[in-house]
Amino acid sequence: MTNFFQAPARGKPMRTKRFQATVVAGLLAVSGCSTMGLGRNDATTPATGGGQTRAGGAVASAIIDEMAGGLVGGSIGAGLDSGEKRSALEAEYRALEHTPSGEVVTWRGDGNRYGEVVAAQPYRVGSQDCRQYKHTIYGGAQPKSARGTACRNADGSWTPLT
């Protein structure tokens, strides 16, 4: 039996070298794939986890403040107090930055109001990653929903498109 990694003797088929070349080509192809950077955990994208965990730290606070009110800054956020708006914005950020497509991110206010944010599959526009998302707020007579699109900036913040 020949050693698998030994070069074949002269005149024998080059199966081993062909196999090695195929493996190397496959590894190179796979290593070239990327996931658009969503879900990273670095200095500009603090780990917040899922569920109702709040984004922490000065970086997260600045990033959420740059979201220009998100969808809750519009009519669906009317009647929310500042703490509820903050929780809702944090949920929007978590859905856009960390959550797989179609997964629900929830938030709960101090009263009877709560909400859900669901982001769609990310896509690229120029050099920015963008996602469509839906935010639904419960606790009134009828649920209020809004849809929007936001694109990720180089600093980790998300800018809602108008």
* Residue-range definition of the domain harbouring residue 133: 57-160
Give the lowest-confidence range in 5-9, 22-26, 70-74, 84-88.
Answer: 22-26
Residue 126 lies in a domain: yes
Please compute the mean of the pLDDT values over residues 9-26 and round it to a whole number: 53
List the structure tokens of 121.
Answer: 């599959």
* Range list of β-strands (E), 86-157: 104-108, 114-119, 123-125, 128-138, 144-152
pLDDT digits (tens, 9 = 90+) for 89-130: 999 999 999 999 999 999 999 888 999 999 999 999 999 999
The tally of domains found in the chain comes to 1
Q: How confident is the model at residue 37, as a pLDDT? A: 44
State the pLDDT confidence band at 11, using cuts at 50, 70 and 90.
Answer: low
Q: What is the mean pLDDT of residues 20-41?
A: 42
In order of 18, 51, 57, 131, the CA distances from 121 in angstroms are 38, 19, 27, 6
Residue 4, in any domain of the structure: no
The percent of residues above 90 in pLDDT, for the chain, comes to 43
pTM of this prediction? Answer: 0.63
- Within a domain: 21: no
Output the pLDDT for position 123: 97
The answer to the question of residue 119 being in a domain is: yes
93 within some domain: yes
The verdict on residue 11 lying in a domain is no
Q: By the 8 A CB rule, do 76 and 135 touch?
A: yes
What share of residues in the chain are helix, strand, coil (percent, to 5)? 30, 25, 45
Nearest to 148 by CA among 81, 67, 46: 67
Stretch 58-83: mean pLDDT:
77
Residue type, 40: R
Q: What is the pLDDT of residues 121-139, one digit of tens each?
A: 999 999 999 999 999 999 9
Is 73 among the domain residues? yes
User: Ranked by mean pLDDT, which of 13-17, 31-35, 78-82 comes out on top?
Assistant: 78-82
